[in-house]
Amino acid sequence: MTVYIDFTDIGDDEDFYAQLKEKLTLPEHFGDNMDALNDVLTGDLAMPLHLEFVNMSVDQLEIFEDMLTMLEEIEEEHQGFSFAYYLEQYEDNENTETEE
């Protein structure tokens, strides 16, 4: 299963965990923190699972740096879990040719 977390409307941890709860079936005891996320990814959720964070800004890379590091470590250690993140894309108007 692939789950996409769109960072367009995420400003902080609270926004992130709200979206995560919408996309994944998390146990009732889940707390909105990295320890709880680590626990569910390494024991509670069915695998295979692929998480994709899309539309991340450079600022969000810094805000969520510890979480990204944790997810990369889980990916290395637990079979069936994979993770990727992508920066938001901007239109490059300089290379666009227009006809007159």
Q: What does the DSSP assignment read for 14-58? A: HHHHHHHHHHS---TT--SSHHHHHHIIIIIS-S-EEEEEEEE-H
pLDDT given for residue 22 in this prediction:
93
Given 3-state DSSP classes, what are the helix, strand and coil percentages for the chain, each rounded to the nearest 5? 45, 20, 35
Residue 7 CB neighbour total at 10 angstroms: 22
Position 76: which residue type? Answer: E
Three-state DSSP at 84 gives: strand
This prediction has a pTM of 0.82
Task: Express each pLDDT in 22-47 by its tens digit.
Answer: 999 898 889 999 999 999 999 989 89
